[in-house]
Amino acid sequence: MKTPNPTRRSERSRQAILSAAFDLVAEIGYAKLTVEAIAARAGVGKQTIYRWWPSKGAVFVEAVLDLSRDERGELALPDTGDLRADLRGVLRAIVDEYNDPKLDAMSRALSAEALADPALNSEITGRILGPILEATRERLRSARRAGQVAADADLSVAVELLFGPVYHRWMLRTNPLTHEYADTVVEFALRALAPTQGESDSVSVKG
């Protein structure tokens, strides 16, 4: 196992490889993506790919991460004080992403890759999903401080209560993903997370 020296690495090649991979997935789909095609498209030797990435999946994940780096930077949910509205905003945004054919296809490709390769899975969930989940958790924490959420609520589960249903419906295509659906999920979640009677009778959810 030789560990190449990263200081010598060609940034030009790295960029060419990542965008070649990204474009090819858009054109032919992730399933038909090959390392040889990436190399050819990028004008790069295959060895240069194998030197820096362990698999085509890793290249693709990095491509996605790289191209969405800026957006996700310091992701934070807006905190308008209106928890219901803020959560609706997140879920509706996610529903919108899943309804974009390009993003849908890419997300499914990433998910399939994550299913097969645990290492890629943690990469993906850690760097793409992670920040969103964390930001939502943070928003719920703030709401809990404001007494809008039960004091003993497990926020990790709370987050899954919001994203789980949407993810489930998207993955299994059981029913259409609409804004109305997103709102319904938020409504259920708010009820589930609401402080118990008497815990805080002076503060309403809408507060």
Residues that bind DNA (CB under 7 A): 2, 4-5, 7-10, 12-14, 16, 32, 34-37, 42-48, 50-52, 55-56
- Least Å from the CB of residue 165 to a second copy: 4
Contacts with a second copy, 184-203, as mask; x by CB under 8 A: xx--xx-xxxx---------
Q: Which helix (H) or strand (E) holds 131?
A: helix 130-145
Instruction: Give 70's Cβ-side CA count (13 Å radius).
Output: 1
67 binds, among a second copy, DNA, none (CB under 5 to 8 A by kind): none
Cβ of residue 133: shortest distance to a second copy, in angstroms? Answer: 7
Smallest separation, CB 123 to DNA (Å): 17
Residue 170: closest CA among 113, 107, 89: 107
SS3 82: coil
CB of 72 to a second copy, least distance (A): 16
DSSP output for 135-178: HHHHHHHHHHHTTSS-TT--HHHHHHHHHHHHHHHHHHT-S---
73 binds a second copy (CB under 8 A): no
DSSP string for residues in 118-130: HHHHHHHIIIIIH
- Letter for the amino acid at 115? L
Choose among a second copy, DNA, none what residue 112 binds, the Cβ cut-off being 5 to 8 Å by kind. Answer: a second copy
52 binds a second copy (CB under 8 A): no
Counting contacts by CB under 8 A, is residue 111 touching a second copy? yes
157 binds a second copy (CB under 8 A): yes
Let me know the angle formed at the C-alpha of 56 by 54 and 60, rounded to the nearest 5 degrees: 110
| 75 binds a second copy, rule: CB under 8 A | no
Minimum gap (Å) between residue 91 Cβ and a second copy: 12
Would residue 173 be called left, alpha or beta, if left means φ above 0 and alpha means ψ between -120 and 50 degrees? left
